Amino acid sequence: MAISGLLFWALRWSEFDLGVLVSSGPRFSEFFARLVPPDWSVTTLVLKSAIETLMIALAGTALAVVFSLPVGFLAASNVSPPWIAQPMKLLLGLIRSVPLIVVAMLFVSAVGLGPFPGMLAIAFHSIGMLGKFYAEEFETADPGILEAVSGTGATKGQTLRYGLLPQSIPQVVAFTVYRLEMNFRDAAVLGLVGAGGIGYYIQLYVRGFQYERVAVLLTVIVVMVVALDNMTFWIRKWVR
Amino acid sequence: MNATLDPAIRLRDVHLLFGRTLALDLEHLEMRAGERVFVLGHSGSGKTTLSRLIKGRLKPSTGTVRVFGNDPTAKDSRRETQRRIAMIDQEYFLVPRLDVVDNVLHGCLGRVSPWRSYLGWYPGEEWEKAESILEEVELGGLGYRRVETLSGGQRQRTAIARALMQDADIIVADEPVSALDPELAEDALELLVECVARRGITLIVNLHQPELARRFATRFVGLANGRLVYDGSPDGFTKQHAELVYRAQPKGEMRDEQPETGTPPTASGSDLRLVGD
């Protein structure tokens, strides 16, 4: 009851109007009609910027992993004392709650236009999620195994390296490649704020009503997302 | 370490409370280097608690535990103390997704340089040692199998190999064969005792079955409701003693009154009020 009330209110707030949706049908079909034939002359340009987007996502994710692993250890309650783990979790929550586009705009104004601020924004935003996921994964580690490894006289670091990481690696890899997929899609819109990649052309072609070129953009993005999706599937399968 | 004079392990006036339950109440217990002590008792009799105290995983509520004269829970000497006391847990706690030989090599983590080992490098002599121990526990050729593909008996021997790899002076085994069927259990115990005897390591084994223990022990310790009810040679362990050990009251309602099984030979009896308060 309360939920349906809330949903109703949400629809009202979003100015949901079925009439408008139906009456704008012709405009949608016009849009789709103008996608063909695609203007393949821009393929090289689009491909180059799409690869830049992919590189932003890859580098950003890698940078995020470098920071998220230690942060994950600090935020895991079975590794760190509560007075470190709790504030760490809070900090990660704060990082996650800043929208990516805001982060990107801040980095653009700090380091200038181009892919570099985009990569930094992706990395910063990803730490919030990866750090949390890693910490939660570390917390599921079997305490008996940690005790057994530490009981050999291993230092704390050795216990994490040999007792904890082997247990957590498959999930850590799965989260990371999943985040990479998300980062590629996120990075595609970063160009809107001048942070490099394919987003610049999305803005250019859509705002300029060059739908034949938008068709090329969409084709390239879809192909790359599907390819990435397949690649990450095999990576997850490989690391078990 | 002078094996004949100083006891390897000494417990004095040890009480251990879990909440309001007195889990262990030992006035005095010593074990000498080279002994093979089999600790008998019900589940909940305090066997595991005793082994965890010796390993330094638990601190007594009152009293002292000394292993080679040191407090096994002391932070400053932790690495060395832990290395000297190996533990084989009931569930083995091998690290999954790793090969047998990796798990065995964990036994040397207490003596190799931490920084080198972060990169997965072990000195060559440790590799040789691991391989010879694998041969010794009849796991030669299985070194590169993942531990989760092993049978129960093979896992058990991997756990033994890891403990031997530690070059420990004491091995504490908590119900090491309870997951195996009787024949395998006997073989596994025999293997453990042979390896330990070859090295002169002190062995403490928690076991349910006195008949099995008789074959391997140099000494029996019987626990019931956290108290010492027998401490002596396996030959002296009679039917009456077995009754004392195995007909003890179940945990939870114990403590405040003396059990009807008679006065335990060495129980302190002085701190019964600890629980009632």
* pLDDT given for residue B276 in this prediction: 31
8 Å CB contact between B1 and B43: no
Q: Do B57 and A147 touch (CB under 8 A)?
A: yes
pLDDT higher than threshold 90 for residue B265: no
Q: Where are the alpha helices (DSSP H) in chain B?
A: 47-55, 78-84, 100-105, 114-118, 124-136, 152-165, 182-199, 210-214, 239-246, 273-276
Q: Is residue A14 part of a domain?
A: no
Q: Is residue A160 part of a domain?
A: yes
CB pairs A-B closer than 8 Å: 82
- Residue of A206, A225, A199, A197 lying closest to A52 (CA atoms): A197
User: What is the separation of C-alpha B223 from the centre of its chain, rounded to a whole number of angstroms?
Assistant: 14
The pTM (predicted TM-score) of the whole model is 0.84
Any A CB within 8 A of B95 CB: yes
Q: Do A162 and B114 touch (CB under 8 A)?
A: no
Q: Is residue A81 part of a domain?
A: yes
| B-chain residues near A155 (CB < 8 A) | 79, 109, 114
Q: Do B107 and A152 touch (CB under 8 A)?
A: yes
> Phi first, then psi: what are they for B142, rounded to 5°?
-105, 5
Q: Distance (Å) from the C-alpha of residue B135 to the closest C-alpha of chain A?
A: 21
8 Å CB contact between A81 and A18: no
Q: Is residue A27 part of a domain?
A: no
Most B-contacting residue of A147, A152, A168 (CB-CB within 10 A), to test interface:
A152
Could you tell me the two tokens for B103?
């798990």
Burial of B197 (0-12, 13-18, 19+ CB in 10 A): middle
Q: Is residue A56 part of a domain?
A: yes
**Percent share of chain A, pLDDT over 90:** 72
Burial of A50 (0-12, 13-18, 19+ CB in 10 A): buried
pLDDT higher than threshold 70 for residue B94: yes
Any A CB within 8 A of B164 CB: no
Any A CB within 8 A of B179 CB: no
Nearest CA in chain B to A165: B95
* pLDDT given for residue B3 in this prediction: 44
* pLDDT given for residue B249 in this prediction: 55
- CATH at residue A234: 1.10.3720.10
Range of the domain at A198: 36-238
Q: Do A163 and B95 touch (CB under 8 A)?
A: yes
- Residue B49 CA to residue B14 CA, distance in Å, equals 11
Task: Quickly list DSSP for A151-209.
Answer: TTT--HHHHIIIIIHHHHHHHHHHHHHHHHHHHHHHHHTGGGGT-SSTHHHHHHHHHTT
Q: Do B82 and A157 touch (CB under 8 A)?
A: no
8 Å CB contact between A218 and A92: no
* pLDDT given for residue A54 in this prediction: 94
**CA torsion B70→B71→B72→B74, rounded to 10°?**
-110
Q: Is residue A104 part of a domain?
A: yes
pLDDT higher than threshold 70 for residue B250: no
Q: Is residue A49 part of a domain?
A: yes
pLDDT higher than threshold 60 for residue B97: yes
Q: Do B93 and A148 touch (CB under 8 A)?
A: yes
Q: Is residue A31 part of a domain?
A: no
User: What is the domain count for chain A?
Assistant: 1
8 Å CB contact between A50 and A221: yes
- Residue A93 CA to residue B217 CA, distance in Å, equals 57
Q: What digits encode the pLDDT tens for the residues A178-235?
A: 999 999 999 988 888 888 888 888 888 988 989 999 999 999 999 999 999 999 999 9
> Phi first, then psi: what are they for B14, rounded to 5°?
-85, 125
Burial of A79 (0-12, 13-18, 19+ CB in 10 A): buried
Domains of chain B in start order, with CATH, are 9-276 (3.40.50.300)
Higher pLDDT: B186 or B248? It is B186
What number is the average pLDDT over the span B188-205? Answer: 95
Q: Distance (Å) from the C-alpha of residue A207 to the closest C-alpha of chain B?
A: 52
Q: Give B 199-238 residues with CB within 8 A of chain A.
A: none
